[in-house]
Amino acid sequence: MNRLNTRPLIKKCRQINQIKPHQQPQIPSNVASNQLIDSLSKSGRIDEARQLFDKMPERDEFTWNTMVAGYARLGRLNEAQKIFDETPIQSSVAWSLLISGYSRNGCGTEAFALYWKMQVKGLRPTQYTLGSVLRACSNTAELLKGEQIHAHVVNTRFDDNVFVVTGLIDMYAKCERILEAEYLFMKVSDKKNHVLWSAMVTGYSQNGDGLRAIECFRDMRGEDVGTNQFTFPSVLTACAAMSAHVFGRQVHCCIIQSGFGVNVFVNSALVDMYAKCGDLHGAKRLLEDMEVDDVVAWNSLIVSYVRQGYGDEAESLFKKMHSRGMKIDNFTYPSVLNSFSFTADVRNAKHIHCLIVKSGFEDYIIIGNALVDMYAKGGCLSSAFRVFHSMPECDVVSWTSLITGYAHHGSHVEALNLFSNMRTANIHPDQFIIASIFSSSAELTILAFGRQVHGNFIKSGLGSSLSVDNSLVTMYAKCGCLEEAHQVFDLMLLRNVVSWTALIVGYAQNGKGRESLLLYDRMIVSGTRPDYVTFVGLLFACSHAGLLKDGFRFFESMDNVYGISPGAEHYACMIDLLGRSGKISEAKDLLNKMTIKPDATLWKALLAACRMHGDIELAEMAAKNLFKLEPENAMPYVLLSNIYSSSSKWDDAERIRSLMKSKGVTKEPGCSWMEVNGKMQSFMAEDRNHPRMEEIYSKVEEIMIKIKKAGYVPDTNYSLHDMDKEAKERGLAYHSEKLAVAYGLLSLPSGAPIRIFKNLRVCGDCHTAIKFVSSVFQRRIILRDANCFHHFNEGLCSCGDYW
DNA sequence: CTAGGGTTAG
């Protein structure tokens, strides 16, 4: 290119911005035309540039290249390709331009193909070619290609070229290979320039290591390599991620000194940093002082307003964007919609949904995902489902939003079915969805399914996360697998209060209250602060282990030491604890001192206590409240009637039974179920529908004979109907839990524990019988009933015969 | 003419 006397050209370029859209610029000399084409295309007026190009009598290599560059930059790749194909001299510059265009517009495959085609044509790559093609390898899926290019870099002796090494560092960092990036950075022997430094800062920041990013930036400042507008946004992102407000302010000072404070990118990064550090006023001031209304900065502030609980501010900012006639992009809508997810305000969100449809943003995947999430969180599962199905394309986030929506509203079976559909659709799970699936498996206590998902997750090679591990601990604990729960807990590199609480509750539910308390001590030593749920678990542990003194100690400490005021759940545990210890009057006192409204669980605990220790007046009160709170529940009728009977108040007992009948309340039939070879087997009392019925019944006979020899005496008090002793015994023998035990012995290998679930509390006779089975047949049997877990082993039960 | 930056749903 002719570089002589460029001054008038520069002047000409400066004038470009004053050219009115349809005013035809006068055709100057060849060199000046090239400059003009470049300037026009850079200000987005590529079609005018093309007119000029078409009129040029004579075009040089530079002319052609500038045209390719113009189209490539705007993503008009077909036109770029066409010009390239017509270019008389396809130099390596032209190739690089085209490759760069494909790379930066998400056409990595084409860029990569072109790169090799260029080699075949016998053109050697330049630093620019390598830099451009590396960009096409900058995501984890393309790491292998990136490594291939790295090898080619070494072969072509570009491995000490700072420009190329910067591209490599960036590629490795974006492929989540920060160690490789770091190694290459350290190996640069020449003086490192600020672009190289910035790439490293960005790398750390994008790999979630905000601290290293900040340190790297600090080291860079010590090296006196200068800065440009690219240097600051990455370190500001790191400050935002770390909530490093003070350091962020210092960076702000550097920015002002450097003179880059007017750059839009730098400014929007500053707004984001202040907002994420909690300085919303500072962020807003900066936003208002910006010379241009930048949509990114506005989006950023909206996100922070929503996250910090100022949905109204977010909405008013959104409205202001409209009134200022600002461009609204595909990031704006998800940010605003998120505010409605928080408040579950579906009605108001519908306006935004309409706007999205009207402005043609409906088909953006991130907007569809935000809509699905918003509707799902707001409980409008049908709307969520409709949006989900209307989406042209779904990813793992869309599925997760829908699935967690179902799970949050208690439809766990539906959630797991959807997860299976997702796998069939060949969408790969990530940590978010896995955590949600473990939680649903825990709620449904389907261990085998949860285990399979766990196994696949390990095989997938995805790293674990705090929520994955926490939900996994919960799942194993809720399924009665304390060893596994503890194993997962021990392997965790990072734990929070949820992890500790999951295990504390797990031990408590499985009848190991004392272990819960020991864990709590360890948790305090580790410096973790207990929360509301931790105390529910602890008090539950105390009540089930009969630890009255500890219970009161914890109950008092929660408010006194941790400032957590007790809720209905805590009171229910305390009432249960007092009831079990026979301290009915204390329970009554506590009830009267309560500042909150008693809930159903609390009345149930009280009623159960009354049954054991017979306080008719209190029992009547509890039952009456339960009739109102849970009119479908047979339990208060049955218990109250039993309490009357045991005090020989036959008339009252009969009155309650007929009341129950007249209200149409029926006792839920007992049902036990278990998972065998991935299939759910369920049994009702005296069930005769099972395909292996005969085998099961003869196994029950065998069990009865063997345990009677060991000393078991059937307790016919638990039989319901009035019949002769033998018939009573027979009825007892075919209780659903006994059928399940027999089936377990028949179908599970001899070393495997038998895990059974029952919808009601286990009956007293079954409890005794299963204790015998555990010693006579040398089996661990784990029975989860409506109230807690029973771990039967060697003739004993973990509940200490108190449930 | 061509590397490197800011907002992003679960």
Q: Using one digit for the tens of pLDDT, what is the confidence trace for A507-521?
A: 998 888 999 999 999
Contact A130, A116 (CB under 8 A): no
Report yes or no: A406 and A414 within 8 Å, Cβ to Cβ.
Answer: yes
Q: What is the DSSP letter of A429?
A: P
Nucleotide of closest approach to A164 (CA, C1'): B3
CATH 1.25.40 for domain A591-667: yes
Same fold? A191-309, A591-667: yes
**Strand B contacted by A60 CB (< 7 A):** no
Q: Mean pLDDT across the stretch A502-531?
A: 93
Which CA distances in Å does A616 have to A141, A604, A612, A645, A803? 70, 14, 11, 11, 21
Q: What are phi and psi of A683, to 5 degrees?
A: -135, 135
* Interval A277-330: pLDDT, tens: 999 999 999 999 998 899 999 999 999 999 998 988 999 999 999 999 898 999
Q: Tens digit of pLDDT for each residue in A580-624? A: 888 888 988 888 888 888 888 889 888 888 877 778 888 899 999
Residues 113-172 (A) near nucleic chain B, CB < 7 A: 126, 128-129, 131-132, 134-135, 162-163, 166-167, 170
Selected from 3.10.350, 1.25.40, 1.10.287, 1.10.20, the CATH number assigned to the domain covering A191-309 reads 1.25.40
Report the nucleotide nearest the CA of residue A41, measured to C1'.
B1
pLDDT in tens, A245-263: 999 999 999 999 988 888 9
- DSSP label of A546: T
CA of A442 to C1' of B9 (A): 26
Closest protein CA to C1' of nucleotide B9, residue: A370
CA dist list (Å): A335 to A304, A372, A402, A711, A798? 9, 13, 18, 68, 50
**Could you check: is the Cβ of residue A400 within 7 Å of any atom of nucleic acid strand B?**
yes
Decide: CB of A401 under 7 A of nucleic strand B.
Answer: yes
pLDDT of A660 above 80: yes
Mean pLDDT of A402-414: 93
Residues 353-392 of chain A in contact with strand B via CB under 7 angstroms: 365-366, 369-370, 373
Q: Distance, angstroms, CA A565 to C1' B1?
A: 68
CA of A361 to C1' of B10 (A): 20
* Residues near A443 by beta carbon (within 8 Å), at least 6 away in sequence: A407, A412, A478
From A189, A187, A190, A184, select the one nearest A199 (Cα to Cα).
A184
Strand B within 7 Å of which CB atoms in A 86-115?
A: 93-94, 96-97, 100, 103-104
Q: Which of A201, A675, A697, A661 is nearest to A480 (CA)?
A: A675
Which bases of strand B sit closer than 7 A to a protein CB?
1-10
* Residue A81 half-sphere exposure toward CB, CA atoms < 13 A: 9
Q: How confident is the model at residue A687 (pLDDT cuts 50, 70, 90)?
A: confident
Q: What nucleotide is nearest A403 when CA is compared to C1'?
A: B10
Judge residue A765's burial from the number of C-beta atoms within 10 Å of its C-beta, 0-12 exposed, 13-18 middle, 19 or more buried.
Answer: buried
* A119-154: pLDDT as tens digits: 999 898 999 999 999 998 887 778 899 999 999 999
The fraction of chain A above a pLDDT of 70, given in percent, is 95
| Protein CA A332 to sugar C1' B8 (Å) | 9
Domain boundary assignment for chain A: 1-89, 106-179, 191-309, 330-427, 591-667, 671-797
* Helix A295-307 × helix A311-323 angle, to 10°: 160
Of A390 and A23, the structure prediction assigns the larger pLDDT to A390
pLDDT of A553 above 90: yes
Statement: residue A18 has pLDDT above 70:
no
What would the DSSP string read from start to end of A523-536? HHHTTPPP-HHHHH
State the average pLDDT for chain A.
88
CA nearest neighbour of A166 among A207, A125, A138: A138
What is d(CA A612, CA A370) in angstroms, rounded to the nearest whole number? 53
- Rounded to the nearest 5 percent, the helix, strand and coil shares of chain A are 70, 5, 30
A12 contacts: CB under 8 Å, gap ≥ 6? A28, A32, A35, A36
- pLDDT in the model for residue A14: 43
Question: What's the rounded mean pLDDT across residues A376-380?
Answer: 90
Q: What three-state secondary structure class fits A4?
A: coil
